[in-house]
Chains A and B, each alone.
Chain A
Amino acid sequence: MIQALAKKATVRDDVATESQERPAIRIKGLSKRFGSFTAVDNVTIDIARGEFFMIVGPSGCGKTTLLRILAGLEAPTDGSIDVSVEAGSQRPVNSMVFQGDSIFPWMTVWDNAAYGLKMRRAPQAQIKEVVGHYLDRTGLLKFADAYPHQLSGGMKQRVSIARAFANDPEILLMDEPFSALDAQNKLLLQEELLRIWEENKKTVLFITHDVDEAVKLGDRIMVMTAQPGRVKTVVPVSLARPRDVLELQQNPEFGKLVHQIWSSLREEVQRARELDEAKGVRK
């Protein structure tokens, strides 16, 4: 039974002919069940090309599962994902910036950032140029030969971002990339991320539990419900770009949006807590 459902589920990344009109990502009726536990339930959403799309939700709402399905690390139980790729494109479909320490401790900063390109056997000249560019943009060029243990947490996460950007994917997936950082580093990295993103406006899917971050970075914010994870509401963010993450905090529109998202999220966080307490699980 489960297998039959799994077969129905598809992740397609085939070439689209009319790519300009089609959304970059079309998620239709996507569900993921682990045994009797439903992590993601019937999520349907279109994400436009070049959109910075934010997902917020209480912990355990299946947002990471959703991203892992998009990254090809989990198979959906039901539903489909369509990623439209420009005709003739050689670029990889997606690259992920993982939550926590994910850069290889046994590689130098340079080799880490070059990983995706090396894996797809890109020509040396291209690797040199692209990796050099993104290490420069992330301020890591002078640490190119350093090993991760010599870097701070913020620098490691910058390597992870450089690695994903250097791979030049159709879409970037970011799973709470700044959650382990202190407030000051977080602010700097948000600024840096926006600056790099402005260069080529890739489609980004970004998970966070930080509402401020969601409003600062996103074009739209999807709020997910507590278990099972469904789409509760999608809020457009009309703040002008390019944005200054510091200036934004004084913007009344910013405050209104943060308040709006928080009110929507609070019910779900409350409900997630009740669910946890009912199960006797301490988070």
Chain B
Amino acid sequence: MAITLSASDVPSPPLSARLSPPQVWGIVLLVPYLLVFLAFVVYPVGYGLWLARHPSSYVALYNDPIFARAAVNTLIFLVIGINIKMLIALFLSGFFAQQRPWIRWLSVIFILPWAVPSIPTILSVRFMLNPEWGVINQLIFKFTGDDGPNWLNDPAVALAMAIGVHIWKSLPFWTLILLTGRLAIPHDLYEASDVDGANWWQKFRYITWPSMQTLYITCTLLSMIWTLGDFNSVYLLTGGGPADLTHVLSTLGIRYLRLDQLSLAMASIVCAMPFVLPLVYYMMKRLSR
């Protein structure tokens, strides 16, 4: 007690000798963020981990078929959904790299899904897929006279639609990032390869891909981490239904929270950590360089 008092009340010679005025200011200016970090990251995470300490929560999770299903859905979402998205983004970045006035205009429109909030557009898709009044089934009825399928009532189709909504929303962002990478490749490399008579695949294989692969892989990993937190695409489109078969980990955590099973919610998140933390650590190392 006496030591803390003397350090704060009377500036002790060693402290003021070590810290110059700019450094004191440096510490003062860091305080706002540190407060936010302590109050809204450290404390909640610590508290959450403490809630998830009982092995019985994990047993309960293990016995909950919805959790297993959500884990599988999350894997499908990440492994299939993200890779399809990134491949399309890679392809489209080549398309948008073409110098044409109309492609410039298209790129302005193309960014719209990223620029508008996700809620109205997801609800718009949800209405399109409505079995009775949705525009898709209306058109199917008009042209074939048959009733269209009940889209969101089939778990596989519903999950695919949620992935589709996710791709719709975030494809422009990743295409733009990959486009930046593509435009950074020196143009004379392509001119030289033209002289050598390379076809488009050889150009991609030996020029584009080698200079973009690090960026591409980083983007894929980053997109996977972020997609784990994509609550909206699933929750607003399917609500986890039918019969809780289309949950992913992020919506499942919120479902447990709404059912007041907070320890289960935290336990389900802790289960994802062995996969998330290595990715997070890798990305942190990359970006802090």
Tell whether A and B belong to one assembly: no
- Using a CB–CB distance below 8 Å, which chain B residues touch chain A? none
